[in-house]
Amino acid sequence: MALRVQKYGGTSVADIDRINHVADRVQKASDQGDKVVVVLSAMSGVTDSLIRLANQATEKPDKKELDVLLATGEQTTAALLAMILKSRGYKAKSFLGFQAGIQTDKASGRARIVDIDAKNIQSALENGNIAVVAGFQGADIDGAITTLGRGGSDTSAVAIASSLKADVCEIFTDVEGVYTTDPRICSSARKIHRISYDEMLEMAILGGAKVLQIRSVEFAKKFNVPVHVRSSFSEEEGTMVVNESSDMESVIVSGVTCDMNEARITLKRVPDQPGISAKIFTPLADAEISVDMIIQNTRSGGETDLTFTVTKDDFDRAKEISGKVAREVGAVEVLTAEEIAKVSVIGLGMKSHSGVAATMFEALASENINIRLISTSEIRISCVILAKYAELAVRTLHSAFGLDQEK
């Protein structure tokens, strides 16, 4: 008998028909003798409609009250699934965030879980109930409703799984699992069967958290919760996200990602003096613009070129601030490029294998793709290239690191 936490995303609970399918799966697990905690998102589209409603009410909706409004989405699906399970003769009980004991900080709209007191869920399970929890929400220390941000239900599920010491946290979604790369770009992409938390984190950060919310992976890593990402539309096994093990390092590269959401800014011929970087990056930080890659090339004559990337959303503001700073510090000019892509290879194996960077650069060179910027972490190498080469680069790297599906 296992204790399973199952999380179903928005497309998995899109309508009553889909919620009935979720009930089928939950029922199956329960019939096997497993204890089941179900964590639900809002029906797909509902959160967006609620945000539209709030924007109709006022241009800048108060964040605390927006949390109260948005929390209704998950409350609805939790109540519906619980009543379906009960009508099928199962004991079931819905829990809102505060009832599930999910305590968060006060950061409305992007609250972080600070504590979980799962005693209510625990006692419901002990009484033979299936616990159905509204994801995405919690309450702060004063009992005010909070929400955890986009994809927050993933984090709810992992946090509850950790608190209950569940055997597995299953994340049911509309894809089959985590792939070696985006199958829409590369038809030979393969599903990854096991991946480490760290690799998953890099994939999630670079892929815009399409499969798993980044925080949920951090949480899973911190508390060592085995996460199973799988499809709610099939019975196939998906991807296990687990602690790194020695055999994982035999695979040099686990995946290739591509991020089209960055833009590049270069300050040409900045005087090469101590403190110059702070002068440039402090105003950006003050404007809450987060800078991703930073590269500095030393020129001759006491000057340097400074290049960095920001998300496209922040690009216009970053360009304006950079222009101002450039004049102040005496840089000669500001160059920008929006049409760039960051392709990355990720793999635990890099820790123990040399030559990964060389293979990557050679593969790109073989297709005449010029590399503009390079950055690395212990388990990742990223190259910025022109956006028009993005798909070609992904396919080339996927093949170069032996990730292509066997035909």
Measured in degrees and rounded to the nearest 5, phi and psi for residue 392 equal: -60, -45
What is the CB neighbour count within 10 angstroms for residue 259? 20
> CB 153 → a copy of itself: shortest distance, Å?
17
Indicate whether 56 belongs to the interface with a copy of itself (CB under 8 A): yes
Q: Cβ neighbours of residue 78 under 8 Å, at least 6 residues apart?
A: 40, 94, 95, 96, 132, 133, 134
Q: Which of 76, 277, 296, 399 binds a copy of itself (CB under 8 A)?
A: 76
With H, G, I as helix, E, B as strand and everything else as coil, classify residue 98.
Answer: coil
CB 203 within 8 A of CB 257: yes
Indicate whether 16 belongs to the interface with a copy of itself (CB under 8 A): yes
Closer CB to a copy of itself, 75 or 344, in the complex: 75
Indicate whether 60 belongs to the interface with a copy of itself (CB under 8 A): yes
Q: Using alpha carbons only, what angle is made at residue 192 by residues 251 and 259, rounded to the nearest 5 degrees?
A: 90
> CB 69 → a copy of itself: shortest distance, Å?
4
Map the footprint of a copy of itself across residues 107-146, applying CB under 8 A: 120, 143-145
Indicate whether 94 belongs to the interface with a copy of itself (CB under 8 A): yes
By C-alpha distance, which of 306, 241, 232 is closest to 41? Answer: 232
Binding window for a copy of itself (CB under 8 A); candidates: 59-67, 214-222, 332-340, 368-376: 59-67
Closer CB to a copy of itself, 137 or 163, in the complex: 137
311-316 long-range contacts (CB < 8 A, ≥24 apart) are 311/261, 311/262, 311/263, 312/261, 312/262, 312/263, 312/338, 313/261, 314/289, 314/290, 315/263, 315/265
DSSP H helices, 171-213, are: 197-206
With H, G, I as helix, E, B as strand and everything else as coil, classify residue 62.
Answer: coil
Binding window for a copy of itself (CB under 8 A); candidates: 65-73, 206-214, 345-353, 393-401: 65-73
Indicate whether 39 belongs to the interface with a copy of itself (CB under 8 A): no
> CB 84 → a copy of itself: shortest distance, Å?
5
Q: What is the β-pairing status of strands 145-147 and 340-346?
A: unpaired
Residues pairing with 172 in the sheet: 8, 230
Indicate whether 83 belongs to the interface with a copy of itself (CB under 8 A): yes
Measured in degrees and rounded to the nearest 5, phi and psi for residue 81 equal: -65, -40
> CB 59 → a copy of itself: shortest distance, Å?
7
> CB 21 → a copy of itself: shortest distance, Å?
13
Closer CB to a copy of itself, 139 or 206, in the complex: 139
Map the footprint of a copy of itself across residues 194-233, applying CB under 8 A: none
Binding window for a copy of itself (CB under 8 A); candidates: 89-97, 312-320, 330-338, 355-363: 89-97
Indicate whether 84 belongs to the interface with a copy of itself (CB under 8 A): yes
- The DSSP letter of residue 43 is P
Helix H or strand E segment including 279:
helix 276-286
Q: Which of 5, 78, 169, 229 binds a copy of itself (CB under 8 A)?
A: 78
Question: Would you tell me which residues interact with a copy of itself (CB under 8 A)?
Answer: 16, 19-20, 50, 53-54, 56-62, 64-66, 68-69, 71-72, 75-76, 78-80, 82-84, 86-87, 93-94, 96, 99, 120, 143-145
